[in-house]
Chain A
Amino acid sequence: MNWEAFATTLRLATVTSLILLIISLPLSYWVAFSKWRFKFLVEAVVALPLVLPPTVLGFYVLMAMGPKSPFGRLYERLAGHGLPFTFEGLVIASVLYSLPFSVQPMAAAFGSVDRKYIEASWMLGVSNLGTFFRVIIPQSWAGVITGLVLSFAHTVGEFGVVLMVGGDIPGVTRTLSIDIYDQVQSLNYSSAALTSVVLLIISFVILSIVYGLNRKGWLFVANRGHRQAI
């Protein structure tokens, strides 16, 4: 078991899912409520990582970060080093790669909040932003947590993007999935088996949490204890 890779993976998944939470709350709100006629184009872009081979995504991200792109040059001037094969570069790639896993559950949850509650909030003088935090989010907890957890889990499991953008630098960009690949390449099967089982268990626990949360009314029942049954 490569503990260094384990720590890198956890760090990457945590940072990525927290950044995604911040990005996804407003983006999901927009996706759920915007009446713009070309909204479907944005939705399609958000969903792209679901179908695109990770190597394709990784390739474009690598090109966008490279010294030939304006963004890459700007970053290099500000930070003093390039983005490719760094942890920061890997975070940017992971955010793009896991975006749909964060946005889609949140947008679905926001969109399923009964419109009458939103209108009731407006009629009580509360702004759109206030309504978002006081009505929409509290009724969408399961969706928000699902988005957070799924983006975490998806980042833990990414391979192709990491290989393309991060390379395989121990302690910086070598994650557990890369480590397994390395172990198998060097015929170190017992170590690969151990790491694999750890990833399997982590994934299973995470998905159990997600499905548990989304059991009908689970959160409300938890909120209200037994009173509702009386």
Chain B
Amino acid sequence: MLLTADIVKQFDGGPRVEASIQIAGAASIMILFGPSGAGKTTVLRCLAGLESLTSGRIIFDGEDWTEIPPQRRSVGYLFQDYALFPHLRVRDNIAYGIKHSHGAVEQVAEMLRVRDLLDRWPSELSGGQQQRVALARTLARKPRLLLLDEPLSALDAATRDHVRSELAHVLRGVGIPAIVVTHDWVDALTLGDQMLVMSGGRVLQTGPPEEIFTRPQHREVAAAVGVETVIPGRIQRREAGIAVLQVGSGQIAAADPGGADVDFYVCIRGDDVALEKGRADQSSARNHLRGTVAEIAAAGILTKVIVDVGFQLVALVTRQAVADLELTKGAEVFAVFKASAVHLIPNARM
């Protein structure tokens, strides 16, 4: 194991953060995922040595880092807003942490395509350029572990997609293990090999990102990864691989999870739910629930429609669909989704 960290941080009269992190391979990227206030940044700062542990241990490559100051950990830390020194030009920012800077600055600047920016001041750079310079400054020291705190959150949406794929490319290229804090599931899916979901100062689930997004094991994980409907339900009967659950005063069909549990959290992604005006029998979807529109709200490029089908079901549909179906509050509508779109989390684990 390259990194084994058991972190307990109790802030004076404040929150408590607990996390265990293992990184096995040299070039793997671990995502620390969760809503703000989950304790992700605290974990990162403990690994960096910027916060001391209340208890626990950090072992990296056989060295005990628990009491070692940040300067001697050979950790590269990318700050959320990059923290480029405003009184130094880009060249001196990149050279700041290295002794024999001749050639090394040019080399890392070349890799991150910031060579043309070396004589500029940080205030003259765009957000994406600042991020590349900050990454260059961090990589120039050849750290053995990279810690990235929300590396993309300071960027506007248009830049973010571009910088994200570039960051993925660089991180895979340098072959240094990295831990990336984010609350954006696109970052997690694009960058991560492994993922650790935190909420309220605890780790809820660990695993490959795809697995966590498709099969969250906790109600809080489901909510954190953007599953719009998370609601308790109870299995009424099972037939031919299908489980029928009572949810509120409605019934839905889901793939039978097996086992003896009957109480589950029912998780349904909003974009898996279609809305129709009448009952469309030609659809292969198992669930056709009649309901009334309880609320309509904009959600980015889509519209979020909450339908009361005996429980509050969230559907994400296009604006065009809202207009075509003449959806208004109180209108009758059918919510349609496949049994396989329903993910069940055993309620006993809560």
A contacts, CB < 8 Å to B: 114, 116-117, 119-127, 134-135, 138-139, 220, 223-224, 227-228, 230
Contacts and interface: CB of A to CB of B under 8 A. Distances in A.
Interface stretch (B69-77, B189-197, B267-275, B299-307): B69-77
Interface stretch (B83-91, B210-218, B309-317): B83-91
A206 B49 CA distance: 44
A117 B75 contact: no
A126 B81 CA distance: 20
Contacts of A119: 50, 70, 77, 79, 83
Contact of A127 (B71, B85, B88, B121): B71
Interface SS of chain A: helix
Contact of B77 (A123, A134, A228): A123
Contacts of A224: 121, 123
A230 B123 CA distance: 11
B319 to A, nearest CB: 41
Interface of B: 48-50, 69-72, 74-77, 79, 81, 83, 85-88, 96-97, 121, 123-124, 137-138, 141
26 contacts: A114-B83, A116-B81, A116-B83, A117-B85, A119-B70, A119-B77, A120-B79, A120-B85, A123-B70, A123-B75, A123-B138, A124-B96, A124-B141, A125-B72, A125-B97, A126-B97, A134-B96, A135-B85, A139-B86, A220-B86, A223-B87, A224-B123, A227-B121, A228-B123, A228-B124, A230-B124
Contacts of A121: 85, 96
A224 B86 CA distance: 11
Contact of B83 (A120, A220, A228): A120
A9 to B, nearest CB: 35
A216 to B, nearest CB: 14
Contacts of A120: 77, 79, 83, 85
Contacts of B50: 119, 122-123
A228 B121 contact: yes
Nearest to B79: A116
Nearest to B96: A124
Contacts of B87: 138-139, 220, 223
B142 to A, nearest CB: 11
Task: Give me the 8 closest cross-chain CB pairs, A-B, nearest first.
Answer: A124-B97, A123-B77, A120-B83, A116-B83, A138-B87, A122-B70, A125-B97, A125-B71
A144 to B, nearest CB: 13
Interface centre among A123, A138, A220, A223 (most CB of B within 10 A): A123
B83 A117 contact: yes
Nearest to A224: B121
Contacts of B121: 224, 227-228
Nearest to B77: A123
A196 B160 CA distance: 64
Nearest to B74: A125
A227 B96 contact: no
Nearest to B76: A123
A217 to B, nearest CB: 10
Contacts of A230: 124
B192 to A, nearest CB: 22
Contacts of B81: 116
Given A123-B77, A125-B72, A126-B96, 15 more contacts: A114-B83, A117-B85, A117-B86, A119-B50, A119-B79, A120-B85, A122-B69, A123-B48, A123-B50, A123-B76, A124-B137, A135-B85, A220-B86, A223-B87, A228-B123
A46 B232 CA distance: 64
Nearest to A114: B83
Nearest to B140: A124
B124 A227 contact: yes
Nearest to A124: B97
A116 B82 CA distance: 9
Nearest to A223: B87
Contacts of B48: 123
A127 B97 CA distance: 10
Contacts of B71: 122, 125-127
Nearest to A120: B83
A126 B50 CA distance: 13
A127 to B, nearest CB: 6
A125 B49 CA distance: 12
Nearest to A122: B70
